[in-house]
A and B are shown apart, each in its own frame.
Chain A
């Protein structure tokens, strides 16, 4: 057992640190959808040009072919530099991309993967429906086969960035016979196809990236199907395992930085008695507990990466990380509100430094998106512990 990075990995860390210091964007991320898209894609493009895009992706599709350890080092340095996530590129880099690498045909891979890495396209996820949330396999958006096309009619919801996306990983029902897990197809939808109507949904953190998407006889070439037709459940599950396995590594690593920033805030802010908030016993104990918890989250993340180095497909243990992460993230966000006191009543978006109030409301999404904490507990209970369904 060791925590040593090889000289090669240390060199990699130094290079990342230097590059980030010289190239990270300094202007704040804009709110306006179009400008946000350009900002996120430009930053992704800059990473590509610097040779940092797709660190653990295969070389033949534009990645660097390095291991998840280097990927971790990148996330650590990225968090240390206090840089925000590239939200608009999240689905492409962490869901769609890894799924395509695992399940797509050669043509699909060589067309889409480099575009994702080069920051040319935004992807969104079309999984949830109004009547298929936690019960994802109950989805009913129809995909009828007509010649060499799939004709899609129905509705998706909770689709982040649909209004600025180029492509969507879309689950449709292509067979209504048999079990509900059969007859689902995973297909790439071009968001500019006629018949797609995107309507934004405002969220509790003031974000404007959430959308619902309506499909009215949208024609998608059958060549866009990933994996076998009617076998999309299995393809989708591999996406979700990635999401729970490694896609959150960046957020987990960033949470340590958030806790340290909060401790600093508690040292600087004075409470009603005129003394720093950190001298309040309850606040101090909660901050210390948060430190211990994020430390253990990081240790779990490291162990998860070590497991992933041994087996390519993440197992159900990813759900433990996802569950623990979202619990801690919510506790920390709420603690920040207590440290802020009356100052917390001022809404400040999470995209600017000191955006604790915005972050507090955003933190509620952690235990809902990507499978609710209740679903994660089902998965842990049934697939890790072997409890009966």
Chain B
């Protein structure tokens, strides 16, 4: 039993973290506020060249064939650096394409030539063959496909095949949003949940991003509490502030450990993997939203400004909370699961 990241894993993630810090600082979200995509095309390509999109994809499509826990650790860094763009859905899209034998598409995705957006289905009807109904799409800009996930399985629909596309203002300046209509739109690369639990994989990777947000906001708030002086002393000496930071640390650690635990369970096919993944998404979603909200409070008036980063974490946390099942969505199925192993 070993739940601590290995030296090799730490090396892998620190290289990614360095790239994000240098190339995609949080401030770029504000700079690209009015651009059609939240991440610049050249940075998407640069990320792909670094192998970020193919970490768990098979080697024959240009991936590195690594395990889900490795990928979860990478997405924790994506969340921590608040990197914009449809990374999780693109990575899963490559997986669907590769496992259905569409190696050309999988290679295109892994090499950064084709991104995959997230589709929130609401009442839309999804079958292994087609999709019908109104869909909400997260980060549609520049994507070739939209990932659509149901309880039975997951597949892709061509972004261009969606009609009546209406852009909406997103709560998150780092995400783009549109509503679109699918009318018997063909679904490709369908994989049944029993063959590959794409929805659960997505929940783990999104939980990992939420962990990163919980950690980043804990650190941002703590740093501010150390340096902001009022009444002649740093505000962090006061228990009202210190204890909030301590609770943020507990939230972040609980979310991190449960997400890694769930990643290992899903990767090894443990009988209680579903239970553990649902628990991870619930705990990580709450940790990220709670911590980001506290982070705004600890920053006081500054935290309420658009210019400060604090709100960007909160807004992304809400977007990620809705992907692959929200906290609210997961509670009923979690209670219906058999007890953890």
Q: Interface of A with B (CB < 8 Å)? A: 1-5, 9, 69, 256, 260, 263, 278, 284-285, 287-289, 291-293, 295-300, 302-303, 305-307, 310, 317, 320, 323-324, 374, 376-378, 380-382, 384-389
Contacts and interface: CB of A to CB of B under 8 A. Distances in A.
B2 interface: yes
Nearest to B336: A288
Given A292-B282, A292-B334, A376 B246 contact: yes
A1 B236 contact: no
Contacts of B276: 295
Contact of A288 (B247, B270, B334): B334
Given A3-B265, A296-B279, A303-B4, A377 B246 contact: yes
Given A288-B332, A291-B335, A380-B246, A303 B1 contact: no
Given A291-B279, A381-B246, A386-B226, A1 B255 contact: no
Contacts of A303: 3-4, 257, 260
Contact of B331 (A4, A9, A69, A284): A284
B242 A377 contact: yes
B236 A381 contact: yes
Interface of B: 1-6, 9, 69, 218, 222, 225-226, 233-234, 236-237, 239, 242-243, 245-247, 249-250, 253-255, 257-258, 260-261, 263-265, 268, 270, 275-276, 278-280, 282-283, 330-332, 334-335, 339-340
Contacts of A387: 222, 225-226, 234, 236-237, 242, 245
Given A256-B339, A278-B335, A285-B331, 9 more contacts: A2-B264, A302-B257, A303-B260, A320-B250, A323-B246, A324-B254, A377-B239, A385-B222, A388-B237
Contacts of A260: 339
B109 to A, nearest CB: 26
A284 B332 CA distance: 7
Contacts of B243: 374, 377-378, 381
B334 A291 contact: yes
Contacts, number: 156
B242 A297 contact: no
A380 B226 CA distance: 14
Given A291-B279, A291-B334, A377-B239, A323 B9 contact: no
B245 A381 contact: yes
Contacts of B340: 256, 291, 295, 298
Given A3-B264, A3-B265, A299-B257, A306 B335 contact: no
If over half of B's interface residues share one DSSP class (helix, strand or loop), that class is named, otherwise mixed; here it is helix
A295 B275 contact: yes
A296 B283 contact: yes
Contacts of B335: 263, 278, 284, 287-288, 291
Nearest to A293: B283
Contact of B3 (A5, A296, A299, A320): A299
18 contacts: A1-B2, A1-B4, A1-B263, A2-B264, A256-B339, A291-B335, A295-B258, A295-B276, A296-B254, A296-B257, A296-B258, A297-B254, A299-B261, A300-B258, A303-B257, A303-B260, A377-B239, A382-B242
B254 A302 contact: no
B216 to A, nearest CB: 14
B283 A292 contact: yes
B257 to A, nearest CB: 4
A2 B268 contact: yes
A292 B279 contact: yes
Contacts of B6: 1
Contacts of B69: 1
A298 to B, nearest CB: 8
A289 B331 contact: yes
A12 B243 CA distance: 41
